[in-house]
Amino acid sequence: MEKIFENVLELTTREDYEAVLSHVKKLIKEATDNGSLDDPEADNEYIREIGRLSRLGAEYENEYIQFTYLKIRKKSSLKRAIEKETI
């Protein structure tokens, strides 16, 4: 397993963030292919590195990325009643 971000403790640029995400995807594929993710209780170098890099990515997202959340609109009771009648 290649640890190319071994000494990285924090992500501060979008380029680094994108590179880490790409590497995590590569590690997940590699670990899946070689069976390292077969046991959900396993503790191996793949799981530790994927977890560490994912935390770095999450910290970057919390600090620098503004997400637009979807607003879930609930149907009015009148609309639900009409839909039930048409079924």
Q: Which tens digit of pLDDT belongs to each residue from 2-31?
A: 889 999 999 999 999 999 999 999 999 999
What is the tens place of the pLDDT at every residue in 24-76? 999 999 999 999 999 888 899 999 999 999 999 999 999 998 877 766 677 77
Residues 6 and 56: their CA atoms lie apart, in Å, by 12
Higher model confidence: residue 87 or residue 77?
A: 77
Residues 52 and 9: their CA atoms lie apart, in Å, by 9
Q: Which residue type, as a one-letter code, is found at position 48?
A: R
Distance of CA 39 to the CA centre of its chain: 20
Per-residue tokens: 73? 């609109």
Per-residue tokens: 61? 């997202």
